[in-house]
Amino acid sequence: GTFSEKLAHFHIRKIFRPRTFIYLGAWSAVGAALVYSLLTRERLEINVLHDRNPQFVTLSDGSIRNGYTVKLLNMIPEPRTIVLTLQGLPGAEMSTVGVDLTP
């Protein structure tokens, strides 16, 4: 027997339609964007978050405490030394929770 012409046969044109190339282009663009964002991201991130409400607290000696939490994120697999300073606020003090740095 021979095959009937009425039966559908495999045609390469069914795979390589314009829609297939559009999908390929879209997925390639998404992949390229993800690779670009991964390669160009910052290797050090800093977040400064205000410590809860109220905005400030007046202490018994009349001074004002305005607390912030500074979070540093090192995204390279080796230790780094980071120096954090406080400038522009005369009389301001910076402290580290859980560490006593007084000599």
Please check whether residue 81 lies inside any domain of the structure.
Answer: no
Which domain does 63 fall in, by range?
A: 12-74
Please check whether residue 5 lies inside any domain of the structure.
Answer: no
Please check whether residue 84 lies inside any domain of the structure.
Answer: no
**Distances 89 to 21, 39, 58, 96 between C-alpha atoms, Å:** 60, 37, 17, 18
Please check whether residue 19 lies inside any domain of the structure.
Answer: yes
Residue 21 confidence (pLDDT): 93
Output 63 or 1, whichever has higher pLDDT.
63
Residues 6+ apart with CB under 8 A from 49: 68, 69, 71
Residue 30 confidence class, pLDDT cut points 50, 70, 90: very high
pTM of the model: 0.53
Please check whether residue 80 lies inside any domain of the structure.
Answer: no
User: In the predicted model, is pLDDT for residue 32 greater than 90?
Assistant: yes
Structure tokens, 68: 């912030």
Residue at 7: amino acid letter: L
Please check whether residue 83 lies inside any domain of the structure.
Answer: no
Please check whether residue 67 lies inside any domain of the structure.
Answer: yes
Structural Rg of the chain based on CA atoms: 31
Please check whether residue 6 lies inside any domain of the structure.
Answer: no
Among 1-5, 20-24, 52-56, 72-76, where is mean pLDDT lowest?
1-5
Q: In total, how many domains does the chain have?
A: 1
First to last CA, the chain: 99
